[in-house]
Amino acid sequence: MTKMRRKSDLPSKICETCGLPFTWRKKWERDWDAVRYCSERCRRSKPASS
């Protein structure tokens, strides 16, 4: 069984769309390295590629 962690101890990233920090979630456990956006809304409104 895994040890409980405080939310402040979880890894975090900065959202590429809105620029706000977001923390690790259980649903992102397997692909945390690929997560770039804090929400589905930010992912849909990502800036156009140059």
Sequence-ordered alpha helix ranges (H) in the chain: 40-44
DSSP code of 7? G
**pLDDT tens, position by position, 2-48:** 677 787 788 899 999 999 999 999 998 899 999 999 999 999 997 76
Q: What are phi and psi of 48, to 5 degrees?
A: -65, 150
pTM: 0.71
**What is the distance, to the nearest Å, from the Cα of residue 18 to the centroid of all Cα atoms in its chain?**
12
Residue 2's pLDDT is 65
**pLDDT tens, position by position, 3-12:** 777 877 888 9
